[in-house]
Amino acid sequence: MAQKGIKTVEDLLSFFPYKYLDRRQLDPIGDLRTGQRTGTGQRTVIGRIVSSGIVLFRNRRRLFEILLADQTGAVSLKWFHFYPREMQARFQKKAVLMVSGEISFYRGEPQFVHPEVQVVDEELMEEVRAPGIIPVYSQIPGLGQRTIRKIVRNGLDRNGLDRTGLDLFHFEEILPSEILQRHHLPSKAEALREIHFPPPERELASLNNFRSPGHLREIFEELFFVELGIAFKRQTTWREEGISFSWTPEEMKGSIATLPFRLTTAQRRALHEILVDMKTPHPMGRLIQGDVGSGKTVVALLAAIVAIRNGYQAALMAPTEILAEQHYRTATQLLKPFNLTIGLLTGSLPAPLKTKRQSGIRRGIYSLVIGTHALISEGVEFQKLGLAIIDEQHRFGVLQRAALKTKGNPDLLVMTATPIPRTLAMTLYGDLDLSVIDEMPPGRRPIRTEVVESKNRSYLHARISEVIGRGEQVYMIYPLVEESEKLALRQGSGQALKDATRMHAELTKVFPRWRISLLHGKVPSEEKEEVMGRFKRGEVEILVATTVIEVGIDIPNATLIVIEHADRFGLSQLHQLRGRVGRGDKPSRCLLVSDYRKTEEAYRRLEVMTETQDGFRIAEEDLKIRGAGELMGTRQAGLPEFRVANLLRDQEILRLARGEAFRLVESDPLLSFHPALRNELQRKWGERMTLAEVG
């Protein structure tokens, strides 16, 4: 059970069923014929697959049909909308199915059309004919479903009767009674019993949709403790002493006037929100969220000027050396009128140069320091850090964010070009105020996006030739650096994933007239700089790369990006990659290369990319498809994996839980009158959310 993270009785009782089977009403298949006399209706049967496959219907229309049988008869299951590979893999001969749906008749024979189907484990066969609702748990090697249920029941019964064992998890109620009453939620004991062993009168849909009273209570509790930690952190921040930066509207107008372009309305709004925060005597914590190319960095650099004018240093931390170097070039160019000394600190700098830069930071020679994780290493000390800026925040964890804060308790400004669904932002960044730059600078053209099947190489090569023939440039993106046993993943067809190193050699043969360069994370820093410099100057027509170019690369003359094995990337990552083109005034195109019709998920993901360039809609779809943990790396960000809550499905519960948590902390800032909540908060979230003042 430890393989599933089950080490205590509490873990056991929090190991919830992922679905439920309805055994209250089960019809023999032979009895379905009575429907001819009594009319159609919802029926449930169980049987074994006799045959399955694609058959031709009228007008050569295809359908997927299963013949299901038990000892009393047979019935047809039919789907007119389906994905062949998925259906054939899921429904194999002799598999046992439980089928629910409306029964109808075709030429006098009973049939289910698009029914609800569950594949039943052989082990459950004896139980399926017993009345009741059967919970089904995710598999534990070596333990059958019946054994798991027996262990869970013992855990529930022992905790209901035995109050002497110190190691037992007791049904102590932690949530305040007024909150339970306000939202009509059951007690902890009632919730756990209902989830594991539902009463026969409970609706099956409410259980399978995690909407039974027991599920709603457990979802609320999970989200409540996340929001309670965030509320506690926010009010703790407001009690801290920070820097009150002074600035005047005239000074800001003068700073903005030095820019070679006009700020958008959204940029001006975000800048104003940041400047208001910087004036308060408490540490700022603000997230700037804006799509690719919306101009977040310019806003952050203007905030840095305010800190520097007040006699402080500013630091900008980026997740990759390429992005840090890009920011360094941008800052050097835009801030030239201010005559600042700007330093770059990355891990790959030669040791003597790194030591020299660290000394300059410590002595205050550098007003603005730009770098990677190297900024939070032990050897880096700032003379007087006033503003910390973190780019692509989702790539850093809470602890890394906290590490930069320890360099002097500066104001904190974090940026992301990955649009975050509001529900996720409330959870991951709930301790930060939010500024949204939802307007693109004038002149940015939409990027035409299309999906190309991988076998259609002639079409790809023709598009590449067209672009280069116009004097423009191309990105070719691959998921792997090089072929290796560890990374030579295989697709459903058995074809190995293409890698950048091999494809660089192959494309050199396909396009012998053009200059082609290779860029990936293993390329030394000096060589990366040289490759990017040549590409930017137009000395290279095709840049073959991995996702190392995902953020921060700004080449207006690059108008085509080809992303191989696009179905292997998340939507938000595809959106980021697509943002490498369309950065000038020329029409741009993104080609997503994939055998995308093989799975429904890949098809959905890539179709979304062709339909919209709205980063927020893309982020919502990514959350639906992949879930919060994979999308934003919640484990890295400091949050545990939710056992039962789902940030997309449970938006309304999250809103209620957040309201209750913030109200409670407002009325009882130290949780002095709620010691049980205080202890539970420390136990669950103390270390992960760096709630130093809890407990």
Do residue 429 and residue 458 come from a single domain? no
Query: Any bridge partners for residue 450, and if so which?
Result: 591
The answer, yes or no, to whether residue 544 has pLDDT greater than 90, is yes
In the prediction, which pLDDT does 482 show?
62
The per-residue pLDDT for 375 is 85
Which neighbouring-strand residues pair with 389? 316, 413
As a whole number of angstroms, the longest Cα–Cα distance in the chain is 92
Confidence of residue 126 (pLDDT cuts 50, 70, 90): low
pLDDT at 76: 94
| Residue ranges making up the domain that contains 68 | 2-182
State the chain's mean pLDDT as an integer.
Answer: 82
Judge if 386 and 533 occupy the same domain: no
Q: Please indicate, yes or no, whether residues 393 and 509 belong to a single structural domain of this protein.
A: no
Alpha-carbon distance of 595 to 638, in angstroms, equals 35
For residues 661-686, give the mean pLDDT: 86
Rounded average pLDDT over 20-40:
68
Q: Which helix (H) or strand (E) holds 449?
A: strand 447-452
Strand (E) or helix (H) holding 343: strand 342-345
pLDDT of 302: 96
Q: Name, in order, each residue with C-beta under 8 angstroms of 683's C-beta and a sequence gap of 6 or more.
A: none
Beta strands in 71-129 (DSSP E): 73-79, 96-106, 109-113, 116-120
**Residue scoring higher pLDDT (417 or 493):** 417
Q: DSSP for 643-692?
A: SS--TTTTHHHHHHHHHHHHHHHHHSTT-TT-HHHHHHHHHHHTTTTT-T
For residue range 274-300, list pLDDT tens digits in order: 999 999 988 898 889 887 778 899 999
More confident residue, 50 or 46: 50
Q: Of the segments 36-50, 176-190, 537-551, which one has the largest average pLDDT value? A: 176-190
User: Does some domain include residue 209?
Assistant: no
Q: State the CATH number of the domain containing residue 509.
A: 3.40.50.300
In this structure, the chain runs to a length of 695
Q: Is 402 in the same domain as 267? A: yes
454 and 533 assigned to the same domain: yes
Domain count, the chain: 3
Is residue 145 assigned to a domain?
A: yes
Residues 114 and 6 in one domain: yes
340-382, pLDDT tens digit by residue? 999 999 888 888 999 999 999 999 999 999 998 888 877 788 9
Residues of the chain above pLDDT 70, percent: 82
Q: Which of 318, 314, 247, 238 is nearest to 283 (CA)?
A: 238
Domain termination residue (choose one: 369, 402, 437): 437
| Residue 202 belongs to some domain of the structure | no
Residue 598 per-residue DSSP state: G
Which of 583, 612, 641 is a domain's end point?
612
How much is the pLDDT for 405?
A: 67
pTM given for the model: 0.63
Percentage of the chain surpassing pLDDT 90?
Answer: 35
Residue 374 burial (CB count, 10 A)? 21
Confidence of residue 407 (pLDDT cuts 50, 70, 90): confident
The pLDDT value given to residue 366: 95
Of 122-136, 410-424, 545-559, the least confident? 122-136
* CA 621 to the chain's CA centroid: 10
Is 296 in the same domain as 382?
yes
Q: Kindly state whether residue 217 falls inside one of the protein's structural domains.
A: no
- Which among 317-326, 447-456, 550-559 has the top mean pLDDT? 447-456
- Residue 692, pLDDT above cutoff 80: no
Which of 417, 437, 457 terminates a domain? The answer is 437
Domain co-membership, 468 together with 565: yes
CA separation for the pair 519, 507 (Å, rounded): 14
- What pLDDT, on the 0 to 100 scale, is given for residue 614? 79
Q: Please determine, for residue 223, whether its predicted confidence score (pLDDT) is greater than 50.
A: yes
The answer on pLDDT for 458 being more than 50 is yes
CB-based burial label for 467 (10 Å; 0-12, 13-18, 19+): buried
CB burial readout 440-449, b (16+ within 10 A) else e:
beeebeebeb
Position with higher pLDDT, 639 vs 276:
276
pLDDT digits (tens, 9 = 90+) for 572-628: 788 888 988 988 888 999 999 987 565 666 777 788 899 888 777 787 777 676 665
Q: Are residues 94 and 134 in the same domain?
A: yes
Task: Supply the DSSP symbol for 397.
Answer: -
Which tens digits make up the pLDDT trace of 428-456?
666 678 888 888 777 677 899 999 988 88
Lowest-pLDDT range of 53-67, 288-302, 398-412:
398-412
Cα dist from 496 to 250, 434, 482, 488, whole Å: 60, 43, 11, 6
Q: CB neighbours (10 Å) of residue 268? A: 16
pLDDT of residue 590: 96
- DSSP letters of 121-187? PGGGTTTTTSSSEEEEPPPBTTB-HHHHHHHHHHHHHHHHH----TTSPP----S-HHHHHHTTPPP
Q: 304 and 451, same structural domain?
A: no
Half-sphere exposure at residue 649, Cβ-oriented, CA atoms within 13 angstroms: 15
Q: What are 498-510's pLDDT values in tens digits? A: 788 888 999 999 9
- Provide the CATH number for the domain around residue 46: 2.40.50.140
Segment 22-39 shows an average pLDDT of: 68
Local confidence band at 165 (pLDDT 50, 70, 90 cut-offs): very low
Count the neighbouring beta carbons within 10 Å of the beta carbon of residue 359: 12
Indicate whether 351 and 457 sit together in one domain.
Answer: no
pLDDT of residue 81: 82
Residue at 261 is within a domain: yes
Domain annotation covers residue 648 = no
Give every CB contact of residue 242 below 8 A, 6+ residues apart in sequence.
280, 281, 282, 283, 284, 409, 411
Residue 252 has a pLDDT of 94
| Residue-level pLDDT at 371 | 92
Q: What is the pLDDT of residue 221?
A: 94
624 occurs within a structural domain? no
Decide if 28 contacts 45 (C-beta within 8 A): yes
What's phi and psi for 309, nearest 5 deg?
-65, -25
> What pLDDT score was predicted for residue 164?
40
101-105, 513-517, 553-557, 599-603, range with the lowest pLDDT = 599-603
Give me the mean pLDDT over the 83-111 stretch: 85
Q: How far is residue 290's CA from residue 267's CA, in Å, rounded to a whole number?
A: 10
Flag whether 337 is in a domain: yes
Claim to verify: residue 423 and residue 451 sit in the same structural domain: no
Check residue 373 and give its pLDDT. 82
